[in-house]
Structure formats: C-alpha cells, structure tokens
Amino acid sequence: MTKPFVAILMGSDSDLPTMKASADVLRSLEVPFEMKVSSAHRTPVQTHDYVKDADQRGAVAFICAAGMAAHLAGAVAANTTKPVIGVPIESSLDGLDALLSTVQMPGGIPVATVAIGKAGAKNAAYLASQIVAVQDPALAERIKADRQANTDAVIAKDK
C-alpha cells in the first residue's frame, strides 16, 4: 500500500522563501508532503529519477516552482500523469517570464498554473489538497473548515 502525499519541487533554494507558503498550508491541513530542490536545467537526471520514484511511492500531485526560464513544471509533467501544479517565481521581469514559461504547455501535457509568487504558492497547496481530498473525506472537511475560518475572519474585520 502506498501512502498518498504531495511532492513539492523547486528549481533553486532561492525559491524556498516563496515555497514555504505551500508547506505552511499543507501542514495546516495535515496533508503529508515532501519538499525538494531539483532543477530542470541543473539536475535534469535527478529530477527525472525523483519524479518516477515519487510517482511509484504514492505522490498524488506535484507542485513545481521555478523562476526565469521556468521549465521545471513542464519537465515534471512530461514524466508523470499525476496532476502537476506550476508556481511561477518572481525572479526577473516581475515573474512574467516564469509565468509564460510555466503556463504555455503544448496540448496533451498540462500544467495547472497558479499566480506568480506567494499567493500562487499558497493556492498550489490548496489545489493539491483538494485533489487529495477527492479520496479523503476527512481532509475535505478540514478544507471546508479552513474556508469557513477565512469567511469568519473577513466578517469579523468588517464589524
């Protein structure tokens, strides 16, 4: 039996301050995850091997973050049929280069691309959790409770 988890990959340790937002969300929703620096360009063989291995061990979804010529999410998507979520990192050109590199995938190899930077990192984790929750009703309830807490916080501020 494989234990479901989310795999987070990032192209460089310089992406870590942004990607901490993904880890924080997964931790708060009690979703098991692994986090790894792995580059499409600097460590292509290791990236390929990790994706194949994680896929076998029960990775339900991959979150991939990269900046500049951001090919990591696409390279991961080429090696798995699990859902891949791409987070463009703001490193140059305000992250627009990374956004376009991540989102413009050829037909048949999708990358679900979220917003540039921390907001995207956060939403990538929510999206991955929602994917895991399709087979995990208790997690689905925790996500609903989290949404309700957000709603309550907005209403409380408005009073």
CB of 89 to ligand RP5, least distance (A): 4
Nearest distance, CB of residue 104 and ligand RP5, angstroms: 17
Closest CB to ligand RP5 among residues 39, 129: 39
Task: Tell me if 42 is assigned to a ligand binding site.
Answer: yes
- Residue selected from 31, 66, 84, 124 as contacting ligand RP5 according to rule CB under 6 A: 66
Minimal distance, residue 66 CB to ligand RP5, in Å: 4
Which 20-49 residues touch ligand RP5, going by CB under 6 A?
39
Cβ closest to ligand RP5, residue 12 vs residue 130: 12
Which residues between 73 and 112 bind ligand RP5 (CB under 6 A)?
Answer: 89, 91
Q: How far apart are CA 139 and CA 89, in angstroms?
A: 28
What does the DSSP assignment read for the chain? -PPPEEEEEES-GGGHHHHHHHHHHHHHTT--EEEEE--TTTSHHHHHHHHHHHHHHTEEEEEEEEESS--HHHHHHTT-SS-EEEEEE-SSGGGHHHHHHHH-PPTTS--EE--SSHHHHHHHHHHHHHHHHTT-HHHHHHHHHHHHHHHHHHHHHT-
Q: Does 117 bind ligand RP5 (CB under 6 A)?
A: no
Are the C-beta atoms of 63 and 22 separated by less than 8 Å?
A: yes
Binding mask 1-20 for ligand RP5 (x = CB under 6 A): ---------xxx-xx-----
Nearer to ligand RP5, 88 or 133 (CB): 88
Binding site for ligand RP5 (CB under 6 A): 10-12, 14-15, 39, 66-68, 89, 91
Task: Indicate the annotated binding residues.
Answer: 12, 15, 42
Residue numbering of the annotated binding site for substrate: 12, 15, 42
